[in-house]
């Protein structure tokens, strides 16, 4: 389990995570919980690594642009890939 803080533009958010039974559960500072299968996370990681290597990558999660396939490559596009 871990307690972390996001990095970004003065709007850092705290969250915690646990891993059990092939699931990673993330709880944000408002108590909202999301669960992801480890294989989903590895697929996203693989896409990011193939496109950006070990370098920084953009969040790129504009919902309108993602919905029309106009968003730049980044985490948002990786999640939907």
Per-residue model confidence (pLDDT) at position 9:
62
- Mean pLDDT to the nearest integer, 31-60: 93
33 vs 15, residue with greater confidence: 33
pTM of the complete model:
0.69
- State the chain's maximal CA–CA distance in angstroms: 36
Burial of 64 by CB count in 10 Å (0-12 exposed, 13-18 middle, 19+ buried)?
A: exposed
């Amino acid at each position: 389990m871990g307690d972390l803080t996001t990095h970004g533009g003065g709007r850092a958010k705290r969250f915690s995570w646990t891993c059990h039974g092939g699931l990673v559960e993330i709880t944000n500072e408002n108590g909202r919980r999301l669960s992801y299968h480890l294989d989903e996370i590895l697929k996203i990681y693989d896409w990011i690594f193939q496109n950006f290597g070990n370098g920084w990558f953009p969040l790129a999660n504009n919902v309108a642009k993602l919905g029309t396939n106009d968003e730049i490559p980044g985490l948002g596009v990786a999640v939907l890939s």
